[in-house]
Chain A
Amino acid sequence: MANSVTITIDGKQISAAEGDKLLWVALENGIYIPHLCGIKEKEKPDASCRLCFVEVEGMANPVTSCTLPVTDGMVVKTRTERVDRLIATGFELLLTNHRLGCAKCAKNGSCQLQKIAKERGLKLRLTRLRSVLKEMQTDDSLGSVAFDPSRCVLCGQCVWADRKENKGNIGFIRRGISRKVSTFGEVPLAESGCTRCGKCVEVCPVGALVKNS
């Protein structure tokens, strides 16, 4: 059993197990920090969404809370000017290749992008940056599930869930702006080794992997 430590988040005293990652400690204590890529059980977090920034007393720069182990006496602020700016930019960058259209999206109302926008007073549209969205085809080869890569935020939740459940059927291919979730040889899901376990749909935080209605 790890030592119990006391930390302060936004003025609130919280006790936690030493070494636990700050993001999860905050969330479990009712303090919201935006996050998309964080996976609690993952030893080495990807820290790729860049949305979970906080400031910690004694640290020169904002840090990603999903990678930060808590230590005794840590003093954390989830809202500072620098943090807000980083998150606002990171969020808008995600939207530059996101096909918006919440009204017709299966995740409307339960989407994590909508939640972040609401929590942090951000707009679900582009204000400073221009769109780089490319035409991409939805894969509904499975019938029961639709995968729309133009709504994918590359969080990696589905890839993780798939590898835990199966021998690994989907993954991140290419890099940079061409990066996307796909299968071996980029075949439709129905032609891949997909076992139809449905785990990836369960964990997708946005409207990219959804049940077909």
Chain B
Amino acid sequence: MELMEGELEKITAEVEQVIKDQGTERERLIPILQGVQEKLGYLPKEAMKKVAEAVEVSEVEIYEIATFYNQFRLNPPGKHQIKVCMGTACHMTGGNIIMESFERRLDIKEGETTPDREFSLERVACVGCCALAPVVVVDENVEAKVRPTRVDGILLGFDMEKKAAEKEMQKAASEQKTQEEEG
């Protein structure tokens, strides 16, 4: 995942702060990683390297921990977060097909984020509405009885939203320009 402008500075500052709060004892590794993720939304490689250096363990040991626990994410959360339910009921009704549809459409794998950081894709366990299986939680909205065509629909919706927003921006910009010219 490419870092955004200014992200490295932010990573450095936040990791330093967390280390200052938590100390550099090996026993503090998990709280340190949790703290870093809380600040940054995920665990970028650069952050893991800095933690390894501070706590004096090898980088791969940090990576072992970060990939062992489900709570740690290695990719930034997308602007839109897609969570495909893989609980028993959803699995039985084709949750994996829905996951595959998203993977194919977004060209990323489960657990990843699109390079433009628009979408992140995750699997979750039962979200508690099995009667609506297969379920996908998109941002805060529950999508019920999802079929692959609905996957297209969801993504198309965001696409149109984005285009409309861009248009708005352009319009606003050109209005401002004419105003400036007039004024």
Contacts and interface: CB of A to CB of B under 8 A. Distances in A.
A185 B64 contact: no
Main secondary structure, interface of B, reads helix
Contacts of B67: 173-175
Interface in B34-93: 45, 48-49, 57-64, 67-68
Contacts of A173: 63-64, 67-68
B68 A171 contact: no
A172 B64 contact: yes
A157 interface: no
Interface in B142-177: none
Interface residues of B, number: 13
Interface in A163-184: 163, 167-175, 182-184
A173 B60 CA distance: 9
A169 B68 contact: no
A169 B58 contact: yes
B68 A175 contact: yes
A174 B68 contact: yes
Contacts, number: 40
Contact of A185 (B57, B63, B68): B63
A153 B45 CA distance: 28
A185 B61 contact: no
A183 B68 CA distance: 14
A114 to B, nearest CB: 30
B68 A168 contact: no
B60 A170 contact: yes
A81 to B, nearest CB: 36
Contacts of A172: 64
Nearest to A169: B60
Given A163-B58, A167-B58, A184 B68 contact: no
A173 B63 CA distance: 7
B58 A168 contact: yes
Given A174-B68, A175-B68, A185-B45, A168 B63 contact: no
A156 to B, nearest CB: 12
B63 A184 contact: yes
B93 to A, nearest CB: 23
Contacts of A169: 58, 60
A103 B60 CA distance: 34
B57 A171 contact: no
Contacts of B61: 168, 171
List 4 A-B pairs, minimum CB-CB distance, nearest first. A168-B58, A171-B60, A184-B59, A173-B67
29 contacts: A167-B58, A168-B59, A168-B60, A169-B60, A170-B60, A171-B58, A171-B60, A171-B61, A171-B63, A171-B64, A173-B63, A173-B67, A173-B68, A174-B68, A175-B68, A182-B60, A182-B63, A183-B60, A183-B63, A184-B45, A184-B48, A184-B49, A184-B58, A184-B60, A184-B62, A184-B63, A185-B45, A185-B63, A192-B60
Interface of A: 163, 167-175, 182-185, 192-193
Interface of B: 45, 48-49, 57-64, 67-68
